[in-house]
Amino acid sequence: MSVEKSSYKTNQRPKKVFLVDKYVCRYMKEEWFIDAKKDKLREYGRLYGIHYHTVEKIVEEDGYNIPLHTLNIICFNKGVSLSEFFKLVERKYGNKIDDSYVIKYVDKKNNF
């Protein structure tokens, strides 16, 4: 085994990206965080009552496994109930949402 292959395996870890998480975050990105550029992240964080790093995670391509508590805070500050939010997501992405996931390999810099 070459050193390159060995370091690849030790520097990467598999990560499950659940489609439901991806589409929940994508909905917020497309409908609520419309122009979430670097200079707007703190503004969105203040507006929705969350840390700007959370906004960064939401607008990533694959989204992230957003805790229900965080989603509740965002919806509360938007003036939308959780049930209304999930209906909106289902209306937009209903045919794509199921319990499936894809495996992506990411750097091991985060141990969670």
Sign of CA dihedral 26, 31, 37, 42: negative
Q: What pLDDT sits at residue 7?
A: 43
Residues 6+ apart with CB under 8 A from 66: 21, 24, 25, 57, 58
Sign of CA dihedral 13, 19, 24, 29: positive
Amino acid at 110: N
Q: What pLDDT sits at residue 9?
A: 57
In eight-state DSSP terms, residue 102 is E
Q: Among 45-49, 68-72, 106-110, where is mean pLDDT lowest?
A: 106-110
Instruction: Convert the pLDDT of each residue in 54-65 to its tens digit.
Output: 999 999 988 889
Instruction: Convert the pLDDT of each residue in 82-108 to its tens digit.
Output: 999 999 999 998 888 777 878 878 787
